[in-house]
C-alpha cells in the first residue's frame, strides 16, 4: 500500500472516529435528558404521595389536584421524546422514521376539519439502473393536527356619499349599522371572542389583556368588562326567550355543579354553584329544540331550585337524589307539585358498588336488568312516543 492510500485511509478513519464521537455525545445527551425526566417524575410522585398520606398541613387544596397530574404528563412527554431520540441514534435512523405506526392518528381527527394536503416527492424519480422514470405504486398518508393562530384584523367600513351634480340638493348615504358599542372599537365577533374566553374558557380579563398585548393590541380589563356588560344586556332577550320556552315544557332536567368564585379581599376563592335547567325532547322526537339555561347561586339549598323554577308549568323534574329537590314536591301550584323522576344512572351506580363489594346475587341481577333497559332504550331513542310505549309494554310482558 503506497503512502497516498495510507493517507486516505487515515483520513477516513479520523472522519469515522469523529462521527462516532458525535453520535456518542448525542446519545449521552439523550440519556441525560431521560434521567432528568425520571427524576422529575420521582419528585412529582413524592409530592402526590405526601399529599395523600402526609399531614393535613402538607396536603394540596382540591382545586390544585390537576397541577401535579399535568406535570406528570409533561415529564412523560419529555421522557418519551428522549427515549425515541436515543433509539434513533443507536439504530442510525432519523427520528421521523421511528414508530410511525404507533403514533399514526389516521381516522381520529374530526371529519369536518378542512384538509390541506402537501406532497413530498423524492429527490429523483429516475431509476438508479438507468431504466428511466419510475412508476408510482402507492403512497403513505399521515394526518396531523395543525392550527392557524387567532389573527386580529381591522374592519374598515366606508359609507360613500352621493350628490347630484346638476341640482346639488340631494345627498344620499347608507345608514351606519348598529353596533353593540356605539362608536367603539370592537366588532361583534371581537366581543364574542372576549365573552367565550371569559365564561367558556375561564380566562379572566387581565389575562386576556396580556394575550392581546402580545399582538400589539392594548386593552385594559375595564374596557373588556364594559364590552362584555353591553353584550350581556343585548343577550338578555335571548335568555328570556329560552326561559319562556323552558317554562312551557312539561318535562325538565335539573342539576347543579360547583364553580370557584373570587372572594374580594380574601385573596382566595369561594364555592358557588351553577344550576342547569334542561329540556330535551329529542329522545322521543319531540317538536321543541333542546335548551339548557344556567343560573348562578351562592349555595346548594333547595330554596334556589324552587326560586329558579318559579313560574314554570312543567310537571316532571328529572334530578338526582339530592334532598334539596324534595321540597319541590310540596310546592303549591295550579298544576300541582312537581313529580321527581330520579336518574337510573345514580341508582345503577349503587347496585354496581354493592355487587362489586359483596357479590350479592340480588345486586348483580339488578345490574343486569338495568343494563337490559339501557340496551332497549338505545334501540328506541329518538322514536315516536307510540313506538316507545309499545316497546315498554313488550318489556313488561317479558
**Cell numbers at residue 116, please?**
390541506
Alpha helices in 196-293 (DSSP H): 205-213, 221-248
pLDDT of residue 396: 57
For 134-157, the pLDDT digits (tens) are: 998 999 888 888 888 888 899 999
98, pLDDT greater than 50: no
CA-CA distance, 303 to 227, in Å (whole number)? 33
CA-CA distance, 141 to 160, in Å (whole number)? 52
217, pLDDT greater than 80: yes
170, pLDDT greater than 60: yes
pLDDT of residue 93: 57
105, pLDDT greater than 50: no
The H or E element spanning position 372 is helix 361-380
Question: Quick one: which of 267, 371, 392, 254 has its CA closest to 320?
Answer: 254
pLDDT of residue 103: 47
For 20-34, the pLDDT digits (tens) are: 887 777 777 777 777
64, pLDDT greater than 60: no
pTM of the predicted protein model: 0.62
Going by pLDDT thresholds of 50, 70 and 90, the confidence category of residue 58 is very low
More confident residue, 356 or 86: 356
Beta strands in the chain (DSSP E): 161-163, 171-173, 251-263, 268-279, 291-297, 316-319, 339-342
Can you tell me the mean pLDDT for 279-292? Answer: 86
Going by pLDDT thresholds of 50, 70 and 90, the confidence category of residue 51 is low
Alpha-carbon torsion angle 8, 12, 15, 21, nearest 10: -140
Ramachandran angles phi, psi of 291, nearest 5°: -140, 140
For 186-197, the pLDDT digits (tens) are: 999 999 999 999
60, pLDDT greater than 80: no
291-313 burial, b at 16+ Cβ within 10 Å, e below that, comes to bebebebeebeeebbbebbeebe
Per the document, the length of the chain is: 398
Highest mean pLDDT among 14-18, 44-48, 317-321, 347-351: 317-321
pLDDT of residue 106: 47
Amino acid at each position: 500500500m503506497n503512502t497516498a492510500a495510507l493517507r486516505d485511509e487515515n483520513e477516513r478513519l479520523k472522519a469515522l472516529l469523529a462521527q462516532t464521537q458525535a453520535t456518542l455525545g448525542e446519545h449521552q445527551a439523550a440519556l441525560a435528558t431521560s434521567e432528568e425526566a425520571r427524576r422529575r417524575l420521582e419528585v412529582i410522585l413524592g409530592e402526590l404521595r405526601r399529599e395523600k398520606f402526609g399531614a393535613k398541613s402538607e396536603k394540596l387544596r382540591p382545586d390544585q389536584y390537576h397541577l401535579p397530574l399535568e406535570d406528570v404528563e409533561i415529564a412523560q412527554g419529555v421522557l418519551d421524546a428522549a427515549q425515541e431520540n436515543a433509539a434513533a441514534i443507536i439504530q442510525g435512523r432519523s427520528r421521523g422514521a421511528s414508530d410511525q405506526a404507533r403514533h399514526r392518528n389516521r381516522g381520529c381527527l374530526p371529519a369536518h376539519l378542512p384538509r390541506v394536503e402537501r406532497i413530498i416527492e423524492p429527490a429523483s424519480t429516475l431509476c438508479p439502473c438507468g431504466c428511466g422514470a419510475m412508476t408510482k405504486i402507492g403512497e403513505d398518508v399521515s394526518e396531523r393536527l395543525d392550527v392557524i393562530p387567532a389573527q386580529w384584523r381591522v374592519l374598515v367600513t366606508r359609507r360613500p356619499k352621493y350628490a347630484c351634480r346638476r341640482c346639488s340638493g340631494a345627498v344620499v348615504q347608507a345608514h351606519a349599522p348598529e353596533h353593540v358599542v356605539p362608536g367603539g372599537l370592537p366588532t361583534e365577533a371581537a366581543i364574542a371572542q372576549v365573552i367565550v374566553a371569559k365564561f367558556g374558557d375561564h380566562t379572566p380579563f387581565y389575562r386576556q389583556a396580556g394575550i392581546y398585548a402580545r399582538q400589539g393590541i392594548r386593552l385594559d380589563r375595564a374596557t373588556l368588562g364594559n364590552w362584555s356588560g353591553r353584550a350581556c344586556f343585548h343577550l338578555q332577550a335571548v335568555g328570556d326567550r329560552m326561559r319562556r320556552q323552558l317554562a312551557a315544557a312539561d318535562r325538565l332536567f335539573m342539576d347543579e355543579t360547583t364553580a370557584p368564585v373570587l372572594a374580594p379581599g380574601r385573596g382566595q376563592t369561594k364555592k358557588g354553584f351553577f344550576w342547569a335547567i334542561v329540556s330535551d325532547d329529542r329522545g322521543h322526537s319531540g317538536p321543541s329544540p333542546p335548551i339548557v339555561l344556567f343560573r348562578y347561586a351562592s349555595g346548594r339549598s333547595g330554596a334556589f331550585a324552587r326560586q329558579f323554577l318559579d313560574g314554570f308549568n312543567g310537571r316532571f323534574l328529572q334530578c338526582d337524589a339530592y334532598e334539596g329537590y324534595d321540597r319541590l314536591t310540596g310546592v303549591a301550584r295550579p298544576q300541582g307539585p312537581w313529580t321527581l323522576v330520579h336518574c337510573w344512572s345514580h341508582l345503577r351506580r349503587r347496585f354496581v358498588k354493592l355487587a362489586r363489594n359483596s357479590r350479592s346475587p340480588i345486586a348483580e341481577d339488578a345490574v343486569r336488568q338495568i343494563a337490559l333497559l339501557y340496551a332497549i332504550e338505545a334501540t328506541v331513542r329518538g322514536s315516536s312516543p307510540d313506538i316507545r310505549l309499545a316497546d315498554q309494554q313488550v318489556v313488561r310482558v317479558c
